[in-house]
Amino acid sequence: MSKIRVLSDQLANQIAAGEVVERPASVAKELVENSIDAGARRIEVDVEAGGRRLLRISDDGEGMTRDDAVLAFERHATSKISTVDDLSSIGTLGFRGEALASIASVARVELVTALEGEAEGTRVSIEGGRMRDVKPVARPRGTTITVRDLFFNVPARRKFLRSEATESFHLASLVTHYALAHPEIAFVLTNNGRESLRAAVAANLRERAYQIFGAEFLDNLLEVGGGNAAVARVSGYVSAPRERRTSRDAQYLFVNGRSVRDRLVSRALAEGYRTVLPHGVYPAALLFLDVPLEEVDVNVHPAKTEVRFRRAAAVADAVREAVRAALAAGGYVRVADDGGEREVEPQSLNEFATIDAAGNEALSGEAGWQRAKSEAQLPQQEPIEFGFTPPTDEELLLSSEEFAARAASLPDPTRSASNAVARSAGAGSVEGELDHKLNDVIGAPVATDVLSPRRGEQERGAELSNATDLSGANSSPAPQAGSAPHLPPLNSIAGAMHEVPVESVASNIRPLYQLEESYIIAIDAEGMLLIDQHAAHERILFDKYRKLEQTRHAESQQLLMPETFDLTPAQAAAFDAVAGELETYGFSLMRLSGRTVAIKAVPADLPASEARNMLAEVLETVDAERRGAARETMRERVAASLACHAAIKVNMPLAIEKMRWLIDRLLNTSSPTTCPHGRPAILRLTTRDIERGFHRP
């Protein structure tokens, strides 16, 4: 007897359903896509019990005839393509003809549909893939599909469904995506009878984004418009660099109106932000790519969430350049003469208000808040003990001769003090800061210090990477001829830099200086250490917050004016689940009407300016899988996120006392060598390795 059997249609559909129907949101995705393909002007999504009990999608699209309504549930039944040639230019969202068949094989489905002007429509009932009933009914033009008891006949899949809150979150996020992609369609999402999103027909993306995210979010957005019709037109919005997320959840990416998760596009987006956002921090984005249909393959994944570009590199370039141009137009990057760009956004210092000059920690209550605010006005922290002013952006753009000439003309290091005063005087605004920087360059010459490594090192760094291309992916522009002393390729001992085992960290670490205003260079008995200042402070704060959970004595700072925060529909679904946790750490939050939350107080360490970003991040990342996860895990995530936002950032000058303070505190934490996300906080280069690098025996 033959061992091989052809599977029944029903089984084949259930297997296909495994790929197409992962969770309620993926059912909703297929149905909403069908409604859009049917030319709907209005789509209503109704959800009960996170979509397990009920999912109903109604549209006013073109509808189906009786025959089509029955045929639609057949596997590989589609009205959208007919020949293999059609596959190379797909203009509809659907084309595989397997969604309805798959969904109907794992749920109880009812379809009611009618064409324009027909006296009667059709109702089709189908359960677990078996057609139950086909009847005429009355309804206006359009289609309503009701999906009940998802996975009722596939217990194994049912087990993988997450909590109701998690599934609701995914559903809300899905509807949000499609609503953004189609401002011309009205959307309503109702969850357990409560309306969680309502968006009337909008004139454009901006209006739609306003309906969904509120005015505030919009204020922080920069408009993107670029690329070219042959490769990809890029449009939409990206966030100003002050909006910082530690996940990509606030990135909405679309290719030809299709919501996609695309590595290439998100990487190109990140590249656009290089120099204005530190590594590991992500912008928010609503990015739309219009790519010629034959240039993109959408038939890569059964759920159609991935695409493949024929000219991937060109698409990435278009995205990166469009984002870069938007940042430049917003004044966040400037194109320099050599074609290179520099960041111009001043680093706000209020993050650091939590460690004062003497290294004492934390401000709390009203006084602290006031002080945090006044310190935040200072555009640039002056390292007290070095007696020099860090070079400004303009100086960094000078050639080394100019730089040297200027340094030589100014041997008097005391000038830096008066310069510091001049700087803080008129400061407080971006313009103020820029004015001063310009003055520094044009008018009053700047004190420099031979100790200052920045200029020389950057130059040499560029030289080095040009000469040896250590990274293999170096793109820094070649320095102008003769602008720096030529150095032959240097040997690298990069491989000798190692993460540090906890046992080997002793208390005799001495900080020397800062590299790139981001890494503390220190020494101990065994050699040289590099300490990531952000990771170190994150670890310190994380440990502190974890202790708070037991003592429940969070210090908070009342905001003078409560800040309001508009939740996205997805965030609103997450809010109720995490609000309690957030209060443990010192937040005081109040849910106002609709999707608005008022922030009345924030944890003492958290700069008020970061509160909004942190909240957005927690709501987005503590979502989903994680809310299904143990409470303990969730607490940890909230604490890690809070620590990350409250911690000092990279590109922050630190006085030596602050470095010492940071190291002392770090050594007293539960895990001094890693940040709460598990990345290393300390790297070591042993004296032995240095000796080896110099070929000393």
Site of interaction with ligand ADP (CB under 6 A): 30, 34-35, 38, 59, 61-64, 72, 77-80, 94-100, 143
Q: By Cβ distance, which residue is nearest to Mg ion? A: 94
Query: What values do phi and psi take at 413, rounded to 5?
Result: -70, -15
Span interacting with Mg ion, options 27-35, 238-246, 385-393, 586-594, rule CB under 5 A: 27-35
- Map residue 26 onto helix, strand or coil: helix
Element (H, E) at 59: strand 54-59
State the binding partner of 72 from Mg ion, ligand ADP, none, CB within 5 to 8 A by kind.
ligand ADP
Residue 103 or 333: the one with the smaller Cβ distance to ligand ADP is 103
Candidate list 50, 51, 63, 94; residue touching Mg ion; CB under 5 A: 94
State the binding partner of 258 from ligand ADP, Mg ion, none, CB within 5 to 8 A by kind.
none
State the binding partner of 546 from ligand ADP, Mg ion, none, CB within 5 to 8 A by kind.
none
State the binding partner of 220 from Mg ion, ligand ADP, none, CB within 5 to 8 A by kind.
none
Which residues does residue 108 pair with via DSSP β-bridges, in sequence order?
127, 148
- Map residue 340 onto helix, strand or coil: coil
- Map residue 34 onto helix, strand or coil: helix
x/- contact string, 35-74, with Mg ion (CB under 5 A)? Answer: ----------------------------------------
* Distance in Å, CB of 205 to Mg ion, minimum: 24
On the 0-12 / 13-18 / 19+ scale of CB atoms within 10 A, 645 is buried
Residue 63 or 379: the one with the smaller Cβ distance to ligand ADP is 63
State the binding partner of 198 from ligand ADP, Mg ion, none, CB within 5 to 8 A by kind.
none
Structure token digits, residue 183: 């401002």
* Distance in Å, CB of 94 to Mg ion, minimum: 3
> In angstroms, how far is CA 56 from the centroid of its own chain?
31
* Distance in Å, CB of 100 to ligand ADP, minimum: 4
Q: What CA–CA distances, in Å, run from 304 to 76, 92, 106, 162, 399?
A: 15, 11, 20, 22, 51
- Rounded to whole angstroms, the Cα distance separating 157 from 106 reads 9
- Rounded to whole angstroms, the Cα distance separating 252 from 642 reads 24
Structure token digits, residue 38: 């049917």
State the binding partner of 61 from Mg ion, ligand ADP, none, CB within 5 to 8 A by kind.
ligand ADP
SS3 content of the chain, % helix, strand, coil (to 5): 40, 20, 40
* Distance in Å, CB of 29 to Mg ion, minimum: 9
* Distance in Å, CB of 54 to ligand ADP, minimum: 17
Which residues does residue 186 pair with via DSSP β-bridges, in sequence order?
42
- Rounded to whole angstroms, the Cα distance separating 115 from 124 reads 15
- Rounded to whole angstroms, the Cα distance separating 685 from 691 reads 10
* Distance in Å, CB of 40 to ligand ADP, minimum: 7
- Rounded to whole angstroms, the Cα distance separating 632 from 621 reads 15
Span interacting with Mg ion, options 94-102, 268-276, 537-545, 680-688, rule CB under 5 A: 94-102
* Distance in Å, CB of 99 to Mg ion, minimum: 4
Residue 98 or 341: the one with the smaller Cβ distance to Mg ion is 98
Residue whose entry in the numeric block shows the structure tokens 């309906």: 211
* Distance in Å, CB of 30 to Mg ion, minimum: 5
Q: Are 353 and 376 in contact (CB under 8 A)?
A: yes
Give the closest residue to 321 by CA, choosing from 337, 306, 341, 345. 341
Element (H, E) at 392: none
- Rounded to whole angstroms, the Cα distance separating 151 from 579 reads 32
Q: Are 531 and 522 in contact (CB under 8 A)?
A: yes
State the binding partner of 290 from ligand ADP, Mg ion, none, CB within 5 to 8 A by kind.
none
Residue 52 or 96: the one with the smaller Cβ distance to ligand ADP is 96
Residue 304 or 539: the one with the smaller Cβ distance to Mg ion is 304
Residue 93 or 567: the one with the smaller Cβ distance to Mg ion is 93
Residue 100 or 484: the one with the smaller Cβ distance to ligand ADP is 100
Q: HSE of 560 in the Cβ direction (CA atoms, 13 Å)?
A: 9
Candidate list 14, 34, 173, 246; residue touching Mg ion; CB under 5 A: 34
Reduce the secondary structure of 64-120 to three states and give it as a string: CCHHHHHHCCCCCCCCCCCCHHHHHCCCCCCCCCCHHHHHHHCCEEEEEEECCCCCC
- Rounded to whole angstroms, the Cα distance separating 12 from 379 reads 64
- Rounded to whole angstroms, the Cα distance separating 675 from 666 reads 10
* Distance in Å, CB of 68 to ligand ADP, minimum: 6
Residue 113 or 364: the one with the smaller Cβ distance to ligand ADP is 113
State the binding partner of 59 from Mg ion, ligand ADP, none, CB within 5 to 8 A by kind.
ligand ADP
x/- contact string, 421-450, with Mg ion (CB under 5 A)? Answer: ------------------------------
Residue 45 or 624: the one with the smaller Cβ distance to ligand ADP is 45
Which residues does residue 507 pair with via DSSP β-bridges, in sequence order?
none
Residue 98 or 543: the one with the smaller Cβ distance to ligand ADP is 98
Structure token digits, residue 513: 């200086």
Give the closest residue to 318 by CA, choosing from 291, 281, 345, 357. 291
* Distance in Å, CB of 37 to ligand ADP, minimum: 6
* Distance in Å, CB of 199 to ligand ADP, minimum: 19
State the binding partner of 271 from ligand ADP, Mg ion, none, CB within 5 to 8 A by kind.
none
* Distance in Å, CB of 550 to ligand ADP, minimum: 52
Q: Are 222 and 237 in contact (CB under 8 A)?
A: yes
State the binding partner of 174 from Mg ion, ligand ADP, none, CB within 5 to 8 A by kind.
none
Residue 35 or 392: the one with the smaller Cβ distance to Mg ion is 35
* Distance in Å, CB of 207 to Mg ion, minimum: 28
State the binding partner of 583 from ligand ADP, Mg ion, none, CB within 5 to 8 A by kind.
none
- Map residue 563 onto helix, strand or coil: strand
State the binding partner of 45 from Mg ion, ligand ADP, none, CB within 5 to 8 A by kind.
none
Candidate list 28, 64, 72, 99; residue touching Mg ion; CB under 5 A: 99
Residue 144 or 621: the one with the smaller Cβ distance to ligand ADP is 144
Q: By Cβ distance, which residue is nearest to ligand ADP? A: 94
Q: Are 376 and 609 in contact (CB under 8 A)?
A: yes
* Distance in Å, CB of 303 to ligand ADP, minimum: 12
| CA angle 685–686–692, rounded 5-degree value | 100
- The site for Mg ion (CB under 5 A) is made up of 34, 94, 99
